[in-house]
Homo-oligomer: A and B are copies of this chain.
Amino acid sequence: MSLLRPRTVVHAHCDLPCGVYDPAQARYEAQSVKMMQEKYQSNEDPVYRTRAIMIIEQRAQFAKEHLWVLWTDYFKPEHVEKYPHLHDLFWRATKAAGAGGAKGNTDPESGQKLLDLIDEIAEIFWETKGGKPS
């Protein structure tokens, strides 16, 4: 980042064709979820709150979809062998993005829980790639 010129905007360049997967895509959406939950808490206007609920709903859905794609499309049998809890982790993460989790929930803790699970997934993801490029 010398000279402030961002050379790589995100760590989506891996050394080999990576299929352009990145847990970051789910994370953006989960961040929006949490942010809208916080904004919901600090604004009592009913129109604002209705919009916030709508946006939480959509963004939680998008987070869920990005996680599903990552689970089915990126991960391979050898990863599951090495990380036997991977399926369960994704299951809990997608549940955390759904009803009973962050969806329909105006408590930012539910958004944070989703973010934490995505971070756990990201850790495994970058390990499978031999570390995250700095």
Interface residues in A, total, Cβ within 8 A: 60
Instruction: Tell whether, in the assembled complex, residue B72 and residue A1 are in contact, meaning their CB atoms are under 8 Å apart.
Output: no
Smallest Cβ distance from A66 to chain B, in angstroms? 10
A73-114 with Cβ < 8 A to chain B: 73, 80, 87-88, 91, 94-95, 98-99, 103-106
Instruction: Tell whether, in the assembled complex, residue B8 and residue A133 are in contact, meaning their CB atoms are under 8 Å apart.
Output: yes
17 A-B pairs besides A13-B31, A50-B53, A72-B95 with CB distance below 8 A are A4-B131, A4-B132, A5-B123, A6-B119, A7-B119, A9-B23, A9-B122, A17-B35, A25-B25, A48-B104, A50-B54, A51-B104, A53-B54, A54-B57, A65-B68, A68-B72, A80-B88
